[in-house]
Every structure is written in C-alpha cells, then in structure tokens.
Structure 1
Amino acid sequence: MNDLLTWDLKLFFYINGKWTNGLFDFLLPWMREPYFWAPLYLFLLIFVPYNFRWRGFFWLVFFIITFAITDQSSLFFKNLVGRLRPGNDPVIAPYVRVLVDYYPRSGSFTSSHAANHFGLAMFSFITLRPQIGKWAWLFFVWAAVIGYSQVYVGVHYPLDIVGGALLGMLAGLLSGGFFQRRIRLELEQTT
C-alpha cells in the first residue's frame, strides 16, 4: 500500500507541477467547472426526451438517478476514508500548485467529479451507443479530461480519480444495464 501511495504522490507532482504549460493552466481549471460541462448534459437532457418521447423521459430519470448514486457513493467513501486533499495536507501543501479560486475542504478519495462524470459517461455509452455508434466513446474522453483536470489544478490525487472513475463506471454499468434490459431507447413509430 505504501508503494501505491508513493507512486500516487509522485504522479500527482508530475501532473500538477512538471507536465504543465500556459494553455493547460488557462484551460483545465475551466474544464472542471459546471458552466463548462453543463451545456453537454443540458443538450442530452433535451435531445433524448425530444427524440425518443416516453422512452427518453425514462432515460432522463435514469440519468439523474445515476448522478445521484455516484454523487452519494463518492461522498460516503470520502467520509469513510478521510484522505486529505493535496492542498489541505500540511506536509505537501506548500508544494501544490492550486489553480482554483475555491479549494474544497471535503475528503479527497474518491473524486466526486470523476465518479459523476464517469458514471454518466458509462450510462450514456451503454444507452446511446446503438444510436450514435463509435462516437459514444467520446463520453469517456470527456470524463477523463475532467478527471485529469482535477489533478492538474491540485484538488485531487490520481488515485482519487481512478477510484471515482471505477465507482462511477460501476454505477453507470448497473443503471445503464438495467435501463437497456427494461426500457431501451428506440425511435417511436409514427404512422
């Protein structure tokens, strides 16, 4: 376990302190903010019910349930594990580049951003892949960029992101699998 935590700390300092540049310093703090990613989710919340009618309404309900499950599960693990965020740890805080105005006081493991976005990515991938094909993989790219941003700006360790991603993908797999077995999106026949 000590080797894993040492690796985690080293990777954190590479991402947060060495693999940096002006473009990422400008762009990545935005990537983790709701005003940046909310338009995609708002689009999905309008697009799917509009195109799939009643099935789209149930998709919307499962989308929100997936978010709630990932968010609450991540909060549970944060309280259970009690890991300090990099900027709140008195030993390493002086060496952390913090690129956000507000620094959370909550626990670090697991990342709620990672859990939420990877959960929604998995749910969307499972349920929308039949309609959008190979483009469905972009949901995971989106979630990965947001997760990477969390480490880059100094609010999470890489293992927090991995833990949150695994937690979110499990929740998305369960909710998406249930949705596909019971409801499944199909275009309504109009005659």
Structure 2
Amino acid sequence: MEILQRILELDKDLFLFLNGLHSDFWDPIMVMVTRQEIWIPFFASILFFIVKNYRSKTLLILITLAILIAVTDQFSGLIKDTFQRLRPVHDPAIAQLVHMVMGKGGSFGFVSAHAANSVALLVLISRIFKSRGYYFLMLTWVLVFCYSRIYVGVHYPLDLICGGLVGWLIGWGLYKLMMFVENHFFFGRSPKIEKTAISTKDTGTMVLVFSVLVSTFFIAVFILRHYNLL
C-alpha cells in the first residue's frame, strides 16, 4: 500500500507540473484539441482512405471500429465505477491548485476513455494501413490529445497511461478478431486487409489534412485575440 500511495503522490506531482505549463495563448488551443468533434475532418480523411483502399472490406472495418468505440467506452466506464478515483478538478486535496479551462466532466477519471479510444484507434488503423508515416502522424495526435486532458485539468497522467494500455489491448484484440472474420467469412474476396497497405500519397494527404486543421486552430486564436474576443 505504501508503494501504491507513493505512485499516486508522484502522479499528482507530475499532473500539477504539466497542468501548470499553461498560458492565455494555449488555453483556447488546448480546449479545441481536447474536443473530439474538432477532429472530424481528420477522421473523415481516414474513412475516405479506408473506403478507397479496402472497398469490399469497408463494412467489416467500420463494424470493427464501431465495436472498438463501444467497448473502450463501456470498459473505461466500468473501471471508473470500480476504482472511483476522482478527477483532479474534483479532488479536494488539489482542486484549488488545478488550472481549469473548461467543464469539470464526471466525478471519476480512472481510466481515461479518451486515451483508451485514441490509442485503440492508433493500434487498429495502423495495423490496417501499414504505413509508418500514418503511424507517426496518429501517434503525434494521440500524445497531444492525451496531454490536452492534463492541460484542461480533467485527468492525471496515470489515468491516461492506464487508459492507453486498455486501448492498446482492445485495439490489438479487435484487429485479430477482424482478421479471423475476414479469413473465415470473406475468403476469396479482395483486397485482403492483411496484405493491403495505403500509398505514400494517401498518407501525405492525411498529413496535409491534419496540418491544415492544426494551422486553423492557431489562425483562429490569433484572429480572436487580435480583436480581443478571447
């Protein structure tokens, strides 16, 4: 128990350090980064290249993605209810020290569903696309996205690390399940997911979409601050 208590104390100290790295400029950007709906154009580009490259297997991939989101959400919620670890903004021991720039969210934060979802997507789609460029693009998004959860004050680092581990296991397991289904129920139909990789050009297009989206965040903040709207 002493070791666990020490780990939790270190987790709080690391949270306060990372959460304290804030500024008026970064506050609105991190609020945008942490909202999943902001990334819809990026996700839409991923969906487009799934349809483009995997054609007859698109439905199988989409069903797997839907199951992935449902399982990570439900399993994360189950762990939250089991451990009932308060989010930093609800923790009376440090709540007054937390830099908060948006709503507090639910009471419990261990594990992070955002981390579980994002890492599960990283694992599953990276295995499908088989592109090193896409992997590093998605990894960059996951790291920034997860850090934003600390920045806005709703998760400890350990919430995100453990959520990421949950997501990795779910993403890996569902990829294996998808391969089993393809090999036993879709045999003879091409393209084979396991043997089909996206092109460098397709990866470059997704990098472009991602870059334009991030640039839009910064441009929007610059404009709003220029006119004193932030």
How far does residue 64 in structure 1 lie from its aligned partner after superposition?
1.4
State the distance in 2 between where 1:90 and 1:35 align: 31
Match of 2:127 in 1: 126
Match of 2:166 in 1: 167
Aligned 1:148-167 pairs, distance under 5 A: 148-167=147-166
How far does residue 8 in structure 1 lie from its aligned partner after superposition?
0.2
Judged with a 3 Å threshold, the aligned counterparts in structure 2 of structure 1 residues 182 and 105 are, in CA distance, closer, same or farther, namely closer
Indicate whether 1:115 and 2:116 are aligned: yes
State the distance in 2 between where 1:91 and 1:98 align: 15
Backbone CA RMSD of aligned residues: 1.7
State the distance in 2 between where 1:166 and 1:65 align: 17
Match of 2:139 in 1: 140
**Residues 70 and 171 of structure 1 are in contact (CA less than 8 Å); yes or no, is this contact kept in structure 2?**
yes
How far does residue 57 in structure 1 lie from its aligned partner after superposition?
1.9
State the distance in 2 between where 1:116 and 1:84 align: 20
**Residues 61 and 178 of structure 2 are in contact (CA less than 8 Å); yes or no, is this contact kept in structure 1?**
yes
**Residues 80 and 108 of structure 2 are in contact (CA less than 8 Å); yes or no, is this contact kept in structure 1?**
yes
Match of 2:13 in 1: 10
Deviations 1:70-118 (A, max 9, x none): 1111011000010111111122111111111x22124110001101111
**Residues 119 and 171 of structure 1 are in contact (CA less than 8 Å); yes or no, is this contact kept in structure 2?**
yes
One-letter identity of the residue aligned with 1:142: W
**Residues 109 and 159 of structure 2 are in contact (CA less than 8 Å); yes or no, is this contact kept in structure 1?**
yes
Structure 1: runs of 5+ lacking an equivalent: none
Aligned 1:19-98 pairs, distance under 5 A: 19-98=21-100
Identity %: 31
State the distance in 2 between where 1:181 and 1:164 align: 26
**Residues 122 and 140 of structure 1 are in contact (CA less than 8 Å); yes or no, is this contact kept in structure 2?**
no
How far does residue 182 in structure 1 lie from its aligned partner after superposition?
4.3
How far does residue 178 in structure 1 lie from its aligned partner after superposition?
2.7
Q: If the length of structure 1 is used for normalisation, what is the TM-score?
A: 0.88
| Corresponding pairs, count | 183
How far does residue 14 in structure 1 lie from its aligned partner after superposition?
0.4
How far does residue 43 in structure 1 lie from its aligned partner after superposition?
2.4
State the distance in 2 between where 1:133 and 1:166 align: 21
Give SS of 1:156's match: coil
State the distance in 2 between where 1:106 and 1:67 align: 21
State the distance in 1 between where 2:63 and 2:107 align: 28
State the distance in 2 between where 1:106 and 1:73 align: 17
State the distance in 2 between where 1:144 and 1:181 align: 30
State the distance in 2 between where 1:63 and 1:128 align: 14
State the distance in 1 between where 2:37 and 2:177 align: 30
How far does residue 181 in structure 1 lie from its aligned partner after superposition?
4.8
Higher Cα radius of gyration = 2
Structure 2: runs of 5+ lacking an equivalent: 183-191, 198-230
State the distance in 1 between where 2:177 and 2:162 align: 23
Deviations 1:37-76 (A, max 9, x none): 2222222223312432111221111111111111111011
Give SS of 1:72's match: helix
One-letter identity of the residue aligned with 2:174: S
